[in-house]
A and B are shown apart, each in its own frame.
Chain A
Amino acid sequence: QVQLQESGPGLVKPSQTLSLTCNVSGGSISRGSYYWSWVRQPAGKGLEWIGRMYSSGSTNYNPSLKSRVTISEDTSKNQFSLNLRSVTAADTAVYFCARESNWGPRVDYWYLDLWGRGTLVTVSS
């Protein structure tokens, strides 16, 4: 059974880089047709898609964050990571990693079917 678990600092100073890792257990991130994604949620607010990466290394990012975000993988550790540069208080949120899977007889329908529990990151000096 595949499981995802986020890890990283819970407190980051303004202007620094937020770095989180998602450990994938029970399955290989380099096998199968999956995108590995990050989603965040400020307290009391809705979900914001940050970006995703495919096992080939291709990535897609939210245009609102694209200039500051990098998502990468470490296949030797079966992990993928999020780096968000030059953070401000507006980046304070619970960050989720998630797996995007697909289904479809003729076209690929994609959906986030597996999620980590989320980790709270606070940006404050």
Chain B
Amino acid sequence: DTQMTQSPSSLSASVGDRVAITCRASQNIGRYLNWYQQKPGKAPKLLIYAASSLQSGVPSRFSGSGSGTDFTLTINSLQPEDFATYYCQQSYSPPRSFGQGTKLEIK
């Protein structure tokens, strides 16, 4: 099974900042990596699939990069609505697995 590790676990930033969240897979997963955003009391929302493809309707300030074992979610010019928890997920093979999450908080 593939283990996913995110860093950092939490992050404080200000509106307008650029932030990066990293995700590392325990084996080579190619570009089979997705990113989700979750706000309290809500279901996760797909942001990025296939490592770098932006889901329809997601603002272009979100971007994803990486392949193999190391991936990054970058958010440019943070907006107030971006403060949430972010999860990576591998779709290389079942069982699917998620990272432990990165909570992005307002500084």
Contact = CB atoms under 8 A, between A and B. Distances in A.
B43 A47 contact: no
Nearest to A62: B95
A96 interface: yes
Contact of B31 (A51, A109, A118): A109
Contact of B99 (A46, A51, A109, A117): A46
A60 interface: yes
Interface residues of B, number: 26
Interface stretch (B13-21, B44-52, B67-75, B76-84): B44-52
**A: contact size bracket:** 20 to 34
Contact of B46 (A46, A48, A112): A112
Contact of B34 (A39, A63, A111): A111
A105 B55 CA distance: 16
Contacts of B98: 46-49
Contact of B44 (A48, A100, A112): A112
A34 interface: no
A113 B46 contact: yes
Contact of B1 (A63, A96, A113, A116): A63
Given A48-B98, A49-B97, A62-B95, A103 B44 contact: no
B22 to A, nearest CB: 16
A48 B14 CA distance: 30
B94 A60 contact: yes
Contacts of B96: 37, 49, 52
B7 interface: no
Interface string B16-49: 0000000000000001101010100011111001
Interface of A: 37, 39, 46-49, 51-52, 60-63, 96, 98, 100, 103-104, 109-113, 115-118
Interface of B: 1, 31-32, 34, 36, 38, 42-46, 49-50, 53, 55, 87, 89, 91, 94-101
What 5 A-B pairs come out closest when comparing CB atoms? A115-B43, A60-B94, A111-B49, A109-B50, A110-B91
